[in-house]
Amino acid sequence: MSSLALLGGLLFYKFIFPKKKINLFFLLILISILPIISIFRNGDYESGDFNIHIYRIMSFYDSLKEGIIMPSWAAELNATYGNPLFIFNYSLPYYIISLFHFIGISFISSMKLYLGLTLYLSGIFMYLWIKELTGNKLAAFTSAIFYIFNPYHLIDVHFRATLGESTIFTLVPLLFYFITKYIKKKKFTYLALIALMSQLLFLAHPMIAGIFTGIASLFVLSMINIKKGLKSVFITIVFMSIGIIGAIYSWVSYILFSAYTFPNPGGIIFQDTFSKIFYSPWRYGFLFQGPNGEFAPIIGYTQVFVVVFAIFLLKKNYISKKINPSYLFWLLIFFLILFFMSPYSKRIWFQFPSLSMLQSHRLLLPIALSTSVLAGYLAISFSDTQRKKIFIYLLIVITIGYTILNWGHRRLITEINDYTLRKNVWISTVTEGTTAYFLNNRWADINNFWFSKIPNDHLEIIQGKGTVREIKRKSTQHNYIVNAQTPIVIKENTLYYPGWKLKSNFNDIFVYPGKRGLIYANLPSGIQYLELKYEDILPYKIAKTISIAIFSILIIVLIYILLIKRFTA
């Protein structure tokens, strides 16, 4: 109905003002609303990661309320045994959704608002970048439409509800926009913004961000004459590197804690999704999610057409020399990424086992970027006549039209609200299985990977005689009074991890991993005041400090530049 209303409005506008050109940016703003309307239907998502993220954000928000600005420990998860989720999981979306909730929006609505904004803004940012890059409004409009309505983009937002990938979709065009601005204007402001965008990308999803910063580096090289602009290339890459270092706490954890994390139980390094990327098996290829919540990670039909047509135009020498290098660059990126999705790249994947966490279907994000940019260049090189322009607009309409079945989650459960989800936070980790294996410690039991029952007592005496009274409990601080009649061995029902420290009457007590990786300790006889407290290990604390410092410096610099401009204008 919304699509028909928009189409009717456009026809009416052209009927009333036949000589006026339609503002393509304004049209994009209207069209971008179409795929997000259904997000705001009442209810909770039936499948995908929607609820998983809400459970995690609830725990994240609770830590923020305790005054922990950069949480590491998710205390409520894993049946209150906790795990180091926030050491490894991306944090940027969680901060923003927590802010939405802080101002009074429910967690469910905050999630929907965030997902809707990422989809909506991604097209606007893509438009701004391509317009700056090419100076052509039709190219910018075409690229933006291809980007918003890319099948994998819609899958991420509507079916999978993946916050990290959806955020990447939004921020990537901004990074390329500021790079393009700097190359043209050579202003320091854009360098600071390049660093900031690079930092935010890594805070959104470190592994995918790494791919895009690599592409961005190649993009800079492709735009600048190496002999004349080597300095600009170097400076741009340096500031991207500053941003990457600024997000160090989001990726260095995989190195710092590697000795303590559970090894990959599946051993699957390369996931072959290549055979699935060209066609969806549901609803004649027009539905990208199956009946059991599975999804079809396809490139997109018009997207494949654009790539094939671009190759045809290049072969026939129909592309002007001015944009020919850009065609070649983005085709190269497309086929390079496609190669890494194909079985032919298996040997490379096995050389770098850590890539298993990337998952090959996520490479559809850079595929989406490259096909969208190519669509924009196609609009430039194939719109010199009215008939060709009609062809481009028809291609845009088809790109929007064939995705219409995927503009919303298939079913929303109205009976579920925040209260319902809050009651299930403790049990939520069990449903994840061993997917996020790195969140458990190396002493975990593979046959009972996560805890499925809340402990009767948070601290138990498993050897010796004594009594325990719990006097205080926060997410990262547990206090007890223990009266040990004999030397005792205690089990504190918290997952063992570096950073947990135990004090008895203010004296340090050695803790060690016991059965199923829980915290064990030996205590002498007597009445003792126990404090079990989590503090980040020094290297990780330094990493957090670096991240805060770089983010703060970048924000201060940008505010200073803004104020200087205002007072000197």
DSSP string, 157-200: IIII--HHHHHHHHHHHHHHHHHHHHHHH--HHHHHHHHHHHHH
Would you say 489 and 461 are in contact if contact means Cβ atoms under 8 Å apart? yes
What is the span of the domain harbouring residue 414?
A: 22-47+122-161+264-429
192 and 295 co-located in one domain: no
216 and 130 in a common domain: no
What's residue 17's pLDDT? 67
Does 363 lie in the same domain as 273?
Answer: yes
Q: How far is the C-alpha of 328 from the C-alpha of 314, rounded, in Å?
A: 9
Alpha-carbon span 44 to 53, nearest angstrom: 12
Let me know how long the chain is: 569
Does residue 404 sit within a domain? yes
Dihedral over Cα of 350, 356, 361, 365: its sign: negative
**Residues 6+ positions from 207 with CB-CB distance below 8 Å:** 357, 358, 362
Q: Are residues 151 and 189 in the same domain?
A: no
130 and 278 inside one domain = yes
Q: What are phi and psi of 560, to 5 degrees?
A: -60, -45
Do 221 and 300 sit in the same domain of this protein? no
CA distances (Å), 313 to each of 146, 316, 392, 538, in order?
19, 5, 15, 57
> DSSP letters along 340-358, please?
HHSGGGHHHHHH-GGGGGT
278 and 423 both lie in a single domain: yes
pLDDT at 196: 98
Residue in this structure with the two tokens 């971008």, named with its chain if needed: 32
Cα gap 236→228, rounded to integer Å: 15
Across the 569 residues of the chain, what is the mean pLDDT of every consecutive 10-residue run?
Answer: 66 65 91 94 89 97 97 97 96 98 97 98 98 96 98 96 97 98 94 98 96 96 74 93 97 95 75 84 92 90 97 89 92 96 85 76 96 97 88 96 92 92 94 86 93 95 96 96 97 97 96 97 97 98 98 96 79
Residues 288 and 381 grouped into a single domain: yes
Backbone angles phi, psi at 68, to 5 degrees: -90, 100
Do residues 145 and 285 share a domain?
Answer: yes
Residue 271 lies in a domain: yes
* 84 assigned to some structural domain: no
**Does residue 330 sit within a domain?**
yes
Give me the CATH number covering residue 502.
Answer: 2.60.40
Q: Tell whether 298 and 391 lie within a shared domain.
A: yes
Exposed, middle or buried, 169 (CB in 10 Å: 0-12/13-18/19+)?
Answer: buried
Read off the tokens for 396. 């845009």
Residues 6+ apart with CB under 8 A from 562: none
pLDDT of residue 267: 59
Angle between helices 364-381 and 301-315 (to 10 degrees): 50
The tally of domains found in the chain comes to 3
What is the DSSP-derived secondary structure letter of residue 426?
A: T
Residue 19 confidence (pLDDT): 67
pTM of the complete model beyond 0.75: yes
pLDDT at 357 (0 to 100): 73
Domain membership flag for residue 108: no
Q: How far is it, in rounded angstroms, from Cα 21 to Cα 6?
A: 16
- What pLDDT does 569 receive? 60
| Residue-level pLDDT at 225 | 67
Residue finishing a domain among 429, 448, 471: 429
Distance of CA 518 to the CA centre of its chain: 31
Same domain, 388 and 374: yes
In the prediction, which pLDDT does 48 show? 85
Do 468 and 532 lie in one domain? The reply is: yes
The DSSP H or E segment spanning 381 is helix 364-381
Compute the distance between CA of residue 497 and CA of residue 94 in angstroms, rounded to an integer: 23
Amino acid at 234: F
Query: If you search the block for the tokens 């003002």, which residue do you land on?
Result: 17
207 in a structural domain: yes
Instruction: Kindly state whether residue 205 falls inside one of the protein's structural domains.
Output: yes
Does 413 fall in a domain? yes
242, 244, 247, 248: CA torsion to nearest 10: -100
* Residues 325/328/329/331 CA torsion (nearest 10 deg): 160
Identify the H or E element spanning 365.
helix 364-381
Residue entry with tokens 């996020």: 436
Amino acid at residue number 54: I
Query: Which pLDDT does position 210 carry in this prediction?
Result: 95
Which of 213, 383, 395, 221 is CA-nearest to residue 307? 395
Which of 377, 408, 429 represents a domain boundary (last residue)?
A: 429
What H or E segment, with its residue span, contains residue 325? helix 324-341
